[in-house]
């Protein structure tokens, strides 16, 4: 599995757009990029997954440049309830192991 | 929605006890996983299973075993609990071939005294 690097923590304000970037320099051809969100005292929740270019759903957008060595999770107009830890994972969908890093602790301020 | 249910939300056990953590999923998923989560260390994979009676070691299997007798149920066993196994334990499941889209339970906070 490709190793990922993401900021340990970020602060932002309600109503702002938040972008969290994940580096994955060793991403393999068949690897997908997946993001999870975890609230305190809960298990992680799948947010979005992509392979290249841009993916958007009702929760977030995922931007992936052509070289795929990084990706950016974009949360539009965040609210206090978006305060959580966000994990970036990279791997092939056939991988036996799914490894979580330490994630990015996002703190939304009023 | 997929539901992954862990039998206990909080559990307190004594050193040396045998501990069973149960996990049940209701969506006929082939794959099931056990993670533990500790402050500053993120989630670490203990064991996973891709079929009934099949199991594979994750990154930190020492001190743990698992059992999967039925497709919907995956049990984590601490043969002789120790204080360093105090942690949040998270169970997850996924469809065959869609390993990266995991559905997690709410977790069991285990304290070993």
List pLDDT tens digits, range A25-80: 988 888 889 999 999 888 999 999 999 989 999 999 999 999 999 999 999 999 99
Residues in A touching B44 (Cβ below 8 Å): 100
Test B59 with A41 for CB contact under 8 angstroms: no
What does the pLDDT read at residue A95? 60
| Count of C-beta atoms within a 10 Å radius of residue B54 | 11
| Most B-contacting residue of A37, A43, A88 (CB-CB within 10 A), to test interface | A43
Test A49 with B100 for CB contact under 8 angstroms: yes
What does the pLDDT read at residue A94? 62
CA B100 vs. chain centroid, Å, equals 17
What does the pLDDT read at residue A17? 97
**In whole angstroms, what is the distance from residue B13 CA to residue B36 CA?**
16
What does the pLDDT read at residue B90? 97
Mean pLDDT (10-residue bins), chain B, 113 residues: 88 97 94 92 90 92 97 97 97 77 93 97
What does the pLDDT read at residue A96? 59
What does the pLDDT read at residue A60? 96
What does the pLDDT read at residue B41? 82
Test A97 with B59 for CB contact under 8 angstroms: yes
B33 touches chain A (CB under 8 A): yes
Q: Which two tokens stand for residue A77?
A: 């107009």
Q: Which two tokens stand for residue A89?
A: 């994972």
Can you list the positions of beta strands (E) in B30-107? Answer: 31-38, 42-49, 56-57, 64-70, 73-78, 87-94, 103-104
Is residue A90 scored above 90 in pLDDT? no
Minimum distance, in Å, between the CA of residue B18 and any CA atom of chain A: 24
Q: Which residue of B has its CA nearest to A94?
A: B97
Residues in A touching B42 (Cβ below 8 Å): 87, 100-103
**In whole angstroms, what is the distance from residue A91 CA to residue A97 CA?**
9
Chain pair A-B, CB pairs under 8 angstroms: 64
What does the pLDDT read at residue B91? 96
What does the pLDDT read at residue A93? 61
Q: Give yes or no for a contact between A89 and A34, defined as CB atoms under 8 angstroms apart.
A: yes
Using DSSP's 3-state secondary structure scheme, residue A57 falls into: coil
Q: Which of B41, B97, B105 has its CB closest to that of A43?
A: B105
């Amino acid at each position: 599995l490709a190793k990922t690097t993401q900021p340990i923590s970020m602060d932002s304000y309600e109503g702002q757009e938040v972008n969290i970037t994940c580096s994955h320099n060793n991403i393999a051809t068949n690897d997908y990029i997946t993001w999870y969100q975890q609230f305190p005292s809960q298990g992680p929740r799948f947010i979005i997954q992509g392979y290249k270019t841009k993916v958007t759903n009702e929760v977030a957008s995922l931007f992936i440049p052509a070289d795929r060595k990084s990706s950016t999770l974009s949360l539009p107009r965040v609210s206090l309830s978006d305060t959580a830890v966000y994990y970036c994972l990279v791997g092939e969908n056939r991988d036996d192991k799914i490894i979580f890093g330490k994630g990015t602790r996002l703190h939304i301020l009023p | 929605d997929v539901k992954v249910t862990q039998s206990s939300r909080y559990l307190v056990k004594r050193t040396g006890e045998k501990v069973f953590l149960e996990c049940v999923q209701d969506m006929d998923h082939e794959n099931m996983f056990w993670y533990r989560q500790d402050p500053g260390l993120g989630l670490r994979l203990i064991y996973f299973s891709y079929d009934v009676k099949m199991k594979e070691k994750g990154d930190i299997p020492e001190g743990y075993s698992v059992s999967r007798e039925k497709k919907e149920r995956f049990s984590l066993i601490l043969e002789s609990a120790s204080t360093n196994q105090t942690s949040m334990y998270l169970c997850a499941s996924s469809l065959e071939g869609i390993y990266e889209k995991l559905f997690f339970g709410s977790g069991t906070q285990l304290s070993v005294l």
